Amino acid sequence: MHLRSTLTRTKEPFASLVPGAVRMYTCGPTVYRYAHIGNLRSYLLADLLRRALLARGFDVLHVKNITDVGHLRDERFDRGEDKMLVAAKLEAKSPEEIARFYEATFHADEALVNILPAHVFPRATDHIDEMIAMVERLEDGGFAYAVEGNVYYDVSRFPGYGALSGNTLDELRAGHRGEIEADKRDPADFALWKRAGEGRLAKWPTGRWGEGFPGWHIECSAMATKYLGEQFDIHTGGIDNVFPHHEDEIAQSQALTGVLPARYWVHGEHLLVAGRKMAKSAGNFQRITELAEQGIEPLAFRLLCLTSHYRAKMNVSDESLRGAQAGLASLRARARAIGREAGSSLPGGLVAPDAPGPDGVVPPGMGAADPAELSAPARALFERWTAAVDDDLDLPKGLAIVREAAKASDLPAAERGWLLVEADRVLGLDLAREIDVGAAAVASAARKRPPGTTPDAPLPAGAAALLAERAAARAGKDWPRSDALRAELAAIGVVVVDRPGGAQEWRVSDDVT
């Protein structure tokens, strides 16, 4: 596998610090408002990377922080606005109530788009002691200085500052906007700790600087170090995290440890609406639940994200969302058809829905079938899929290969099913469930014999698949389709009788031999 590292600006072969294990940190939400679909695209990057690593056989430990401390996201452009406290006043709630409410909605939104939950969701407010200790060490080491309760990082003490973003200190000083805080030695210095103003609710005592609250950047340095160690494998985030957030994380952590905190820095590009970045201030804010209210399934949004490389800007429109909805329906239909055709012959057998995998979640894949058992054409498709994923998560190319595999009528249905489910371990579109539904329906049709039939009166060819499709239509209350399928079955000699509770029974006409 190769990943493009933002730090080196090149694709690098991936090698974990500990063979077979990966430690990964993702910058999570600031919970004073709902997450929008642009935020979710950023979190999908981490999910896809984690799934790809799991498919490769790695054990992954994933940490995603919850920022529940009200503070300035970027002190260069924001003056005095505490967003957590503003939200609390507007909604007549305490800062903690605001944080817990929006944290819960964030978890629910991630689940809608099939993002695997992180193993650890540390809250900033639970790690204030670790942050204070880290700031004290930076001050003791000469990397920080305190002025009347404010503590700033001295960027001149860190020669590598700017390497991640490509900035130089001269450029940063020249580009500084607004009034410069009078207590800073250098406009490029950034806050590690801020003194609490009068009336501030979210504040904590310290032995050195009085009451205050942490800077944005020190939070992630403290929590990543606590749960993943001084150096871990991968740090992910949106492209807007590169500077100043991740640049400052590196400066803080490396100053104390002497090592780069993460080996690979992977960032996803913006989601755009009509060419503009999604943001509440831009008036184009959209939640995943709002898409669902408009008839767009959350997994259709996930599929849309798969059609653009994570490093490319992605424009979203009503047309592209409707196209993704149709594309998802098409993939599902092909998966169900493959399941019906393959029956119980899928290699390795489907994973039971209640069988958690080693990652602690239900694996979206199948049993441990060996790719070497595939035919040469199927193995070639699998190798192309793997190469696309290994090439810096080239999932647009991978998705095209998956569609090709689904349509490969020259391959046995069992092999097509295996390829789709194996790919879905990364895609996360629940195609395994669709195939399982089809296969289970075929197996059920083969077992069930309603009253009045005998084992020596088998169903005509194709009848089992039609019965399974009719059961699905009835479950979805698609009555016109159900009636049409009843007519198709009658034409081949299968009489269907519907029973209370939704069950359907059938008998084979005496005219069918």
DSSP letters spanning 399-468: HHHHHHHHH-TTS-HHHHHHHHHHHHHHH-S-HHHHHHHHHHHHHHHHH---TT--TTSPPPTTHHHHHH
412 cis-preceded (ω within 30 degrees of 0): no
Which residue, 332, 73, 338, is CA-closest to 216? 73
- Give the strands of the sheet with 262-268, arranged side by side: 59-64, 21-26, 232-238, 262-268
pLDDT at 208: 95
The residues near 351 (Cβ < 8 Å, ≥ 6 apart) are 357, 362, 363, 365, 366, 367, 432
Question: CA dist 455 to 258, 444, 506, 507, Å?
Answer: 75, 14, 13, 11
Encoded tokens for 335: 């998966």
The model carries a pTM of: 0.80
Distance of CA 345 to the CA centre of its chain: 32
Asked whether the beta carbons of 154 and 189 are under 8 A apart, the reply is yes
What gap in Å lies between CA 493 and CA 508, rounded to an integer? Answer: 6
The burial class, CB within 10 Å (0-12 / 13-18 / 19+), for 204 is: middle
DSSP letters, 356-374, are --TTSS--SSBS---GGGS
> Residue 10 corresponds to which tokens in the numbers above?
């090149």
CATH superfamily of 2-268: HUPs (3.40.50.620)
Please give the biggest Cα pair distance in the chain.
96
Ranges of H-type helices in 9-36: none
Q: In what order do the strands lie in the sheet with 190-195?
A: 144-147, 150-153, 190-195, 212-214
Give the number of C-alpha atoms closer than 13 A to the C-alpha of residue 239, restricted to the C-beta side: 13
Check if 2-268 and 298-437 are the same fold.
no
Placement of tokens 């490396």 in the chain: 254
Pairing of strands 262-268, 232-238: parallel
Domain ranges (residues) in the chain: 2-268, 298-437, 448-508
From residue 24, alpha-carbon distances to 61, 321, 383, 445 in Å are 6, 30, 26, 45
- Fold for domain 298-437? Isoleucyl-tRNA Synthetase; Domain 1 (1.10.730)
DSSP class of residue 352 equals P
Cα separation, 265 vs 504, whole angstroms: 55
Residue with tokens 């997994």: 299
**Is there a contact between 331 and 310 (Cβ–Cβ < 8 Å)?**
no
HSE-CB of 336 using CA atoms within 13 angstroms: 19
pLDDT tens track for 438-464:
766 655 544 444 443 433 456 777 777
pLDDT value at position 440?
64
* Cα gap 9→31, rounded to integer Å: 31
Distance between CA atoms of 291 and 301, rounded to whole angstroms?
8
Give pLDDT tens digits along the chain (513 positions). Answer: 999 999 999 999 999 999 999 999 999 999 988 999 999 999 999 999 999 999 999 999 999 999 998 554 333 333 445 565 565 556 666 778 888 889 999 999 999 999 999 999 999 999 999 999 999 999 999 999 999 999 999 999 999 999 999 988 888 776 555 556 778 999 899 999 999 888 777 899 999 999 999 998 999 999 999 999 999 999 999 999 999 999 999 999 999 999 999 999 999 999 999 788 877 666 778 999 999 888 899 999 999 999 999 999 999 999 999 999 999 999 999 999 998 888 755 554 443 333 334 443 433 333 335 777 889 999 999 999 999 999 999 999 999 999 999 999 999 998 999 999 999 999 999 998 888 777 666 555 444 444 434 334 567 777 777 777 787 777 667 777 877 888 888 878 788 877 655 667 777 765 443
